[in-house]
């Protein structure tokens, strides 16, 4: 899987989880930027990402994530 493929798939997942069909992701995007991003949506996002990419996130990894850029780097480390 290429970096572009990971980014495209993450964007599609965020659009689905937050029900925002026109959502465009960028590295600095975070929970403060999306009104619908609450604790329930966050858990849904993480579970969906784990299922779609067949990965598991450790609690420490999740605590260190500050934005979508961090998430993409973490996924790239696990997949590439």
Q: Which CATH superfamily is domain 3-79 in?
A: ACP-like (1.10.1200.10)
CB 42 within 8 A of CB 31: yes
Q: Which two tokens stand for residue 7?
A: 């980014």
pLDDT at residue 71 in the model = 96
- Beta strands (DSSP E) in 3-79 are none
Ordered by start, the domain boundaries in the chain are 3-79
pLDDT at residue 39 in the model = 92
pLDDT along the chain (80 residues), means of 10: 95 97 97 94 96 95 93 96
Cα separation, 40 vs 25, whole angstroms: 20
The whole model's pTM is what? Answer: 0.93
């Amino acid at each position: 899987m290429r970096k572009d493929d990971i980014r495209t798939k993450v964007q599609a997942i965020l659009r689905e989880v937050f029900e925002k069909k026109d959502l465009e992701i960028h590295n600095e995007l975070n929970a403060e930027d999306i009104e619908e991003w609450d604790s329930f949506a966050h858990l849904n996002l993480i579970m969906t990402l784990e299922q779609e990419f067949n990965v598991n996130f450790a609690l420490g990894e999740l605590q260190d994530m500050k934005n979508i850029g961090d998430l993409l780097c973490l996924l790239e480390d696990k997949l590439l």
